[in-house]
């Protein structure tokens, strides 16, 4: 029997940094090779359907429900009905988006697993998501997060993203750049990629005890780890990613063309890989042409 895994994609960002080039376009729908970046992530998620029984939910900004529904129907006509899209009613951070999931009652039982993903890391592969699930179960962690070793597609500034404070190979705190001064000596060179897995019961308990940031009044999903430190059995483990295309984040205007460049390179490499094995498998040109015609659906 396949394990039930909830997937929650946080896609309520409104693209304020790239709005000049792409006005009125949500961050999740910014195009990479003419395809919304969110749907590159969804392709990886759908690749896991043979392994897990998936419950997929996407949180979008208020008023964006119809736009996302139309785009899903356009790009995934046969699977769009498997995805639930929810509007974030209280747009005060990613923590409130997770709370919205519980308010909708679209969630698994207390001991089932929930994976939270950020839409602005579109290249995370299905194998990496599987690895973080397996790692989480094997280490008996209360919550496992995905960390990276590169900071941006355009800069190596180590203060750009949320940093991981690690002691004894465990993440003990996540620190935003503006709060990082007192932690400079202990900050790891890993950053939080916005991916975490825990049981539904863990997230539900954290939602009940959420505290707003005193300056922004936002409820951030990264604070789930920091605010849950009173839980007696709390263990936090990091599953690291090292400098691959998967660590590319869409944050600044220059990130998008660079991400598109890397994605094109990856597609070309995959195409050449397929061609190589096709050519190697069949001995002569006629057999190769016949196989290509079959794959292309040509008469």
Per residue in 252-296, pLDDT (tens digit) is 767 777 777 777 777 777 767 677 777 777 777 787 778 777 776
Task: Give the pair of three-digit tokens for residue 233.
Answer: 């059995």
Q: Give the whole-number percent of the chain exceeding pLDDT 90.
A: 10
What residue ranges do the domains of the chain occupy? Answer: 3-252, 254-299
Q: Is the pLDDT at 233 greater than 70, yes or no?
A: no
| Most confident segment among 2-16, 78-92, 116-130 | 116-130
Helices and strands (H and E) in the chain: how many: 8, 11
- What is the model's pLDDT at position 154? 46
Q: How far apart are alpha carbons 132 and 238 in whole angstroms?
A: 9
Render pLDDT for 111-158 as a digit per residue (tens, 0 to 9): 789 999 988 888 888 988 998 898 888 888 888 888 776 544 444 554
Q: Is the pLDDT at 58 greater than 90, yes or no?
A: yes
Is residue 111 within 8 Å of residue 100, measured between CB atoms?
no
C-alpha count within 13 angstroms, C-beta hemisphere, residue 77: 1
Q: What is the mean pLDDT of residues 184-190?
A: 66
Do strands 163-167 and 187-199 pair parallel, antiparallel, or not at all (unpaired)?
antiparallel
Q: How far apart are alpha carbons 135 and 144 in whole angstroms?
A: 8
Q: What is the mean pLDDT of residues 156-176?
A: 69
Is residue 4 within 8 Å of residue 53, measured between CB atoms?
yes
Name the average pLDDT for the chain: 78
17, 281, 7: which is closest to 124 by C-alpha? 7
Instruction: Please state which CATH number belongs to domain 3-252.
Output: 3.90.550.10
Do strands 143-148 and 236-240 pair parallel, antiparallel, or not at all (unpaired)?
parallel
Q: How far apart are alpha carbons 190 and 165 in whole angstroms?
A: 9
Q: How far apart are alpha carbons 14 and 61 in whole angstroms?
A: 8
Task: Give the pair of three-digit tokens for residue 220.
Answer: 């951030």
Strands (E), 17-149: 31-32, 35-36, 52-61, 83-88, 113-118, 143-148
- What is the model's pLDDT at position 211? 82
């Amino acid at each position: 029997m396949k394990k039930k895994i909830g997937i929650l994609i946080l896609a309520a960002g409104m693209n304020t940094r790239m709005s000049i080039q792409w006005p009125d376009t949500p961050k999740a729908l910014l195009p990479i090779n003419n395809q919304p970046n969110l749907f590159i992530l969804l392709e990886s998620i759908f690749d896991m359907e043979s392994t897990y029984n998936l419950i997929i939910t996407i949180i979008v900004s208020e008023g964006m429900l119809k736009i996302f529904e139309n785009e899903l129907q356009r790009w995934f006509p046969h699977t769009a009905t498997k995805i639930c899209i929810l509007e974030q009613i209280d747009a005060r951070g990613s923590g409130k988006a997770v709370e919205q999931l519980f308010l909708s009652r679209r969630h698994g039982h207390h001991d089932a697993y929930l994976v939270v993903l950020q839409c602005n890391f579109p290249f995370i592969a299905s194998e990496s998501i599987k690895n973080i699930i397996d790692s989480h179960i094997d280490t008996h962690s209360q919550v496992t997060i995905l960390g990276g070793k590169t900071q941006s597609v355009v800069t190596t500034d180590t203060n750009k993203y949320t940093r991981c404070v690690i002691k004894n190979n465990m993440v003990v705190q996540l620190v935003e750049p503006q709060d990082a001064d007192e932690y400079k000596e202990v900050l790891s060179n890993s950053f939080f990629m916005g991916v975490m897995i825990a049981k539904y019961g863990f997230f539900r308990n954290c939602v009940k005890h959420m505290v707003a940031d005193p300056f922004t009044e936002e409820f951030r999903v990264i604070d789930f780890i920091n605010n849950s430190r009173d839980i007696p059995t709390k263990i936090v483990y990091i599953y690291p990613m090292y400098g691959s295309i998967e660590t590319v984040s869409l944050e600044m205007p220059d990130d998008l063309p660079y991400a598109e460049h890397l994605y094109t390179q990856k597609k070309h490499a995959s195409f050449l890989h397929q061609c190589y094995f096709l050519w190697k498998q069949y001995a002569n040109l006629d057999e190769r042409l016949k196989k290509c015609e079959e794959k292309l659906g040509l008469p």
